[in-house]
Amino acid sequence: MTNDYRFEFRPYQRRFLRSLTTNHGKWDIREGIILRLTDETLRVGWGEIAPISWFGSETLEQVLDFCRQLPGEITDETIFSIPDELPACQFGFESAWEWGSWKWGNEFFSMPNAQCPMPNAQSFSALLPFGEAALNQWETLWQKGYRTFKWKIGVDAIADELKIFESLTRILPASTKLRLDANGGLSYEEANLWLRTCDNLKANAELPLEIEFIEQPLPVEQFQQMLELSTSYETAIALDESVATLKQLAACHQQGWREIFVIKPGIVGSPSRLRKFCHQHQIDTVFSSVLETAIGRLAALQIAAELSRNNRAIGFGIDHFFEQEETWFQTLWNDL
Ligand SMILES: O=C(O)CCC(=O)c1ccccc1C(=O)O
Ligand SMILES: [Mg+2]
């Protein structure tokens, strides 16, 4: 692209096919903005800004304020000087700037025909519904080819969740990997109980499935306790909320975190700086969605394909896709 772009944006709101329940409650509607850059040769780049403020990114209001104060014509300088307080904006603008430079043919997608990359379900992790519903839903996802599942914990009473978990471990087939995501919702005692339970399962050689990790057991403020837990148990811990942005990621790494880092490209910040960090430090990563729409998803998957290096499934299961995926975009940009 040349150095000057026409900048346009449209806010959107979309209802999930199924709501996402975490220990922060129920989430039904995704709000964000789609942006378009058009250069002097009329080449177009699309970007998505899909913040999750409860997770540590900027708010939607901050995104809207930022976009509204920009002029209709912007430059590379504008794109690469977005402040770190707006990480989802950094992602949206930079990925629109990169749009069109990507190649589709990697471990996540095979190319049966040049038009349509086909996701390779085995490389993706699928979200199970929370609570007991997981027990009847995993099979449909298994049939679609998923072999890695994520189940939310820290939503209900721990005794109930442990019971469902025990059933899950007995019914899931061999060669399944299971991730438990607490979204920072456990107490220190509960985190110990979950880790001990998982370690005991691991010691039981008859158990066919693998507990891959527990994600963000404690709140962000309790980094030292998580560091201690990571050395006390066999079961791995993945940081997620603690490393929501690039700045937090660097700080946790600097303070000695050597287990797994979940990276959500949609809110982590500048893709170019993320690439630099990952190339510099060979960290163990899991790439994950922010439940963005197809625009942000393409950009996030591109980054995941470039930077994944440990065979870990990526958290971009298709389980939360939106309704009317084709017509939505045309309505949003009615000049297409
Ligand atoms: O990471 C995944 O496997 C799916 C995505 C996911 O769980 C998620 C999606 C939106 C917001 C927060 C989270 C999370 O990992 O906690
Ligand atoms: Mg998580």
Mean pLDDT of 238-266: 98
Q: Which of 12-26, 105-119, 207-221 has the lowest mean pLDDT?
A: 105-119
Based on the domain organization, do 158 and 13 belong to the same domain?
A: no
Residues 93, 23, single domain; the answer is yes
pLDDT (0 to 100) of residue 205: 74
The DSSP code sequence of 49-96 is: E---GGGTS--HHHHHHHHHHS-SEEEHHHHHT--TT-HHHHHHHHHH
Q: Do 33 and 128 fall into the same domain? A: no
Name the residue at shortest CA distance from atom 2 of ligand 1. 315
Q: Are 41 and 122 contained in the same domain?
A: no
How confident is the model at residue 326, as a pLDDT? 66
Between CA 55 and CA 62, with CA 57 as vertex, the angle to 5 degrees is: 130
Are residues 133 and 247 both part of a single domain?
A: yes
Residue 271 domain flag: yes
Judge whether 46 lies within some domain.
Answer: yes
Domain for residue 108, yes or no? no
Please tell me if the CB atom of residue 265 comes closer than 6 angstroms to any atom of ligand 1. no
pLDDT of 54 reads 93
Contact between 269 and 246 (Cβ < 8 Å)? yes
Q: What is d(CA 2, CA 307) in angstroms, rounded to the nearest whole number?
A: 27
What are the angstrom distances between the C-alpha of 214 and each of 152, 159, 179, 250, 281? 10, 17, 6, 21, 22
| CATH for 254 | 3.20.20.120
Q: Is residue 215 a known part of a binding site?
A: yes
CA 240 / ligand 1 centre spacing (Å):
9
Are both 179 and 280 inside the same structural domain? yes
**Ligand 1 atom 14: the closest Cα is on which residue?**
183
The count of domains in the chain is 2
CATH number at residue 64: 3.30.390.10
pLDDT of residue 204: 84
What percentage of the chain has pLDDT greater than the value 90? Answer: 76
Higher pLDDT, 158 or 111: 158
- At residue 35 the predicted structure's pLDDT band, cuts being 50, 70 and 90, is very high
CA distance 175 to 208: 7
Give the residue numbers marked as catalytic. 152, 264
Confidence category of residue 195, pLDDT binned at 50, 70, 90: very high
Convert the pLDDT of each residue in 276-313 to its tens digit.
Answer: 999 999 999 999 999 999 899 989 999 998 998 878 99
pLDDT above 70 (res 114): no
Instruction: Tell me: do 94 and 125 sit in the same domain.
Output: no
CA atoms of 185 and 191, how far apart (whole Å): 9
Instruction: Give the torsion sign (CA, 17, 18, 24, 25).
Output: positive
Nearest CA owner, ligand 1 atom 10: 290
Per-residue pLDDT at 277? 98
- Same domain as 205, residue 313: yes
Give the ipTM: 0.98
Q: Which residue has the higher pLDDT, 110 or 174?
A: 174
Average pLDDT on 82-110 reads: 85
Find which of 1-5, 116-120, 135-139, 310-314 is predicted with most confidence, using mean pLDDT: 135-139
Residue 71 lies in a domain: yes
Mean pLDDT (whole number) for 148-160? 96
299 and 153: one domain? yes
4 is in an annotated binding site: no
Annotated ligand binding at 319? The verdict is no
Range of the domain at 68: 4-103+323-332
